[in-house]
A and B are shown apart, each in its own frame.
Chain A
């Protein structure tokens, strides 16, 4: 290169540097000053592998925000909830997370176990309280995940309660097959279930079977469970695949009882399987469905009626979304009442020290409570049975 062209290059470089710098720009943000809306980011699964329950959960959260804003918001401030679909893909969740951090949100509502775990380190470093649809046990430990909060009993707690119930129902001895989603969500309670059987010396056989995603039937898996001699099939998956298992059990005329945990323990499971195939199966569900008619359902009913929704059609996942947002909003309210600036650490502190959050009998045994040592909001769950196409409560607030 000649000296002339070299100096030309340098000159061009300098000129464009000036031009680009002039464009300005810079970090997002959006503070949390007194009258501003409170920004909350939602990472939702509307169209992904768990979209069947993810969509109503998201609708429940947005409905709560709408209702609360109508009730003059939190301490007079409106909630600005941003909801985006991540289709149950971890990289998309990370992308959305970065977007929300840049937008200056004060807290985040997440969804899946894989992405909640993947983001737990980042939310801790960025000091953003994070409530999610995942109830995986490691997320309850403030040492491991200081900014994650779980508002219901963990999947592992639900599994323990289910195993205790099975042990009692079977007269003390039986074989249990665990059908689980082949992902961190599905695997979350599997090892803890085995540990519980060993610790409590339960006389239960225990085998875990990953459910291949996209399967059109589970006859093969059921025949393995049959070979094991399983009388109970605990399912840790969402409603649609669990309903397929129920249909296959009915079609094969197998003597097996399904015990659904959390995300398949809902009306969608019964509707998809059909009342006949679902009949008699058990549902471990920490959030009381609308059919259970608890005091805490009143606001939901009023909101639904005011918005041309039939309260009877609001599924349990919708109720779960409503109360996930309720717990977060209560934490934010407590932080504001403490006179703190609305920051992540202030909300975390408020959630840890505010005492029990009342849910009118909907979550666990009625209240959700965190402490500095534990972010496990509840250890109790309702147990329901599918009868005539309905969820019928057989035990409220069951705990270990």
Chain B
């Protein structure tokens, strides 16, 4: 990631350190803010629930991108870490009686600790080997949440109380999605801002140094083991937050929501969105969450002319899912983020090509 965009000249350090440099960037930020603020008033409850799922996915995808995209540590354990966040927050708040915000914070810290533990093989392993080691973490956590009956008091699943934040209780069917939207929007916004700023700090830059060339990074003084483990901790912390929010939002926790499929879905999000880009993680979360629903709507619309689509919807959905990933890998490995960059560059440099 270039530190500054081509063609922009800074005259002071303050100007160079800004997150946004051009007028167009402020304009887009303004538009996006308005869009996000107006969304709950124009969407119906179903589409708002999709927006809420996207916001949770944004938090999880940003977390995973810190580890995979920025630090170069492959992880197939996302589903497991989400589960740690979900189960611990649900148990701490509902069974132990901790106030929900505290339970969520504790869940974040616990997931960070578990993530760090499972990140230990990363000190010795790279690439495919590390991928398999993190796959083991997914399997182990899945085994624990399926077989340790005391987690769910022999019930197999956990019912979670409706969210109560500092005395404010989320309401019923009519306002449920709207109220959750504000909570999730705030947290997703904070997550994006935190992650964006993380990579302007020495710690974040050490993550990128490890990714780009670990031997060179060590030569310039980066403590590689510490950087790797911190990356696992920070990333898992974000993922734990997404897991905790999943539990409180869907109000039930069962192991079936945290399988390997979920790990793969999140990897797909950051690949399609753009590895090593916070905006990419956001685009990927939006795209991959909406894709199945858009295919469903399309197949319902085309049900009369192409009944095969409606009859075999889940298979079609899986096939499209696979096809999208393959097409991105071939046509634009740097994902939606790069496509968006290119569109912006085209307009910025027009009529010149570069």
How long is the Cα–Cα vector from A121 to B45 in the complex, in angstroms?
18
Q: List 23 A-B contacts (CB under 8 A).
A: A8-B27, A10-B30, A13-B34, A20-B42, A21-B42, A24-B42, A25-B43, A47-B312, A47-B313, A48-B314, A84-B296, A85-B313, A89-B314, A90-B254, A92-B292, A98-B49, A101-B46, A101-B173, A117-B157, A118-B157, A122-B250, A122-B251, A138-B155
Report if A184-B254 is in contact (Cβ < 8 Å); known contacts: A17-B38, A95-B293. Answer: yes
Nearest B residue (CB) for A101: B173
Report if A27-B44 is in contact (Cβ < 8 Å); known contacts: A9-B30, A12-B30, A13-B34. Answer: yes
- B46-A25 in contact (CB<8A): no
Residues of A within 8 A of B155 (CB): 138
Residues of A within 8 A of B333 (CB): none
In the complex, whether A197 has a CB less than 8 A from a CB of chain B is no
Q: Supply 20 further A-B pairs (C-beta < 8 A) apart from A28-B45, A102-B44.
A: A2-B23, A9-B26, A9-B30, A10-B30, A13-B34, A17-B38, A21-B38, A25-B42, A28-B46, A47-B313, A85-B313, A99-B46, A101-B173, A114-B256, A117-B252, A119-B252, A120-B252, A121-B159, A125-B173, A184-B156
Shortest distance from the beta carbon of B188 to any chain A beta carbon, whole Å: 19
Residues of A within 8 A of B311 (CB): 46
How long is the Cα–Cα vector from A37 to B29 in the complex, in angstroms?
46
- B173-A126 in contact (CB<8A): yes
Residues of B within 8 A of A94 (CB): 250
How long is the Cα–Cα vector from A264 to B154 in the complex, in angstroms?
25
In the complex, whether A227 has a CB less than 8 A from a CB of chain B is no
In the complex, whether B174 has a CB less than 8 A from a CB of chain A is yes
- A121-B26 in contact (CB<8A): no
In the complex, whether A187 has a CB less than 8 A from a CB of chain B is yes
Nearest A residue (CB) for B33: A13
Residues of A within 8 A of B257 (CB): 90-91, 118
Nearest B residue (CB) for A45: B314
Q: Is chain A's binding surface mostly helix, strand, loop or mixed?
A: helix
- A117-B314 in contact (CB<8A): no
In the complex, whether B315 has a CB less than 8 A from a CB of chain A is yes
How long is the Cα–Cα vector from A16 to B38 in the complex, in angstroms?
9
- A90-B256 in contact (CB<8A): yes
Give the contacts of A103-128 with B (CB-CB under 8 A). Answer: 103, 114, 117-122, 125-126
How long is the Cα–Cα vector from A8 to B22 in the complex, in angstroms?
13
How long is the Cα–Cα vector from A16 to B45 in the complex, in angstroms?
22
Report if A12-B159 is in contact (Cβ < 8 Å); known contacts: A25-B44, A118-B256, A126-B173. Answer: no
- B173-A92 in contact (CB<8A): no
- A117-B254 in contact (CB<8A): yes
How big is the B interface, by class?
35 or more
Residues of B within 8 A of A251 (CB): none
Interface code B16-59, partner A: CB below 8 Å = 1, 0 otherwise? 00001001001101110111011001111110010000000000
Residues of B within 8 A of A90 (CB): 254, 256-257
Please report A residues at the B interface, Cβ cutoff 8 Å.
1-2, 5-6, 8-10, 12-14, 16-17, 20-21, 23-28, 46-48, 84-87, 89-92, 94-95, 98-99, 101-103, 114, 117-122, 125-126, 138, 183-184, 187, 191
- B42-A16 in contact (CB<8A): no
Residues of A within 8 A of B173 (CB): 101, 125-126
How long is the Cα–Cα vector from A14 to B27 in the complex, in angstroms?
12
- A12-B256 in contact (CB<8A): no
Nearest A residue (CB) for B39: A20
- A102-B250 in contact (CB<8A): no
- A122-B252 in contact (CB<8A): yes
In the complex, whether B97 has a CB less than 8 A from a CB of chain A is no
In the complex, whether B172 has a CB less than 8 A from a CB of chain A is yes
Query: Looking at B154, B172, B257, which has the most chain A CB atoms within 10 Å of its CB?
Result: B257
- A187-B156 in contact (CB<8A): yes
- A184-B157 in contact (CB<8A): yes
Residues of B within 8 A of A95 (CB): 292-293
Residues of A within 8 A of B23 (CB): 1-2, 5, 8
Residues of B within 8 A of A14 (CB): 34
Shortest distance from the beta carbon of A132 to any chain B beta carbon, whole Å: 15
In the complex, whether B160 has a CB less than 8 A from a CB of chain A is yes
Shortest distance from the beta carbon of A19 to any chain B beta carbon, whole Å: 9
Residues of B within 8 A of A99 (CB): 46
Shortest distance from the beta carbon of B237 to any chain A beta carbon, whole Å: 23
In the complex, whether B162 has a CB less than 8 A from a CB of chain A is yes
- A87-B314 in contact (CB<8A): yes
Residues of B within 8 A of A1 (CB): 20, 23, 26
Residues of B within 8 A of A12 (CB): 27, 30-31, 34
Report if A98-B46 is in contact (Cβ < 8 Å); known contacts: A1-B23, A8-B27, A126-B173. Answer: yes
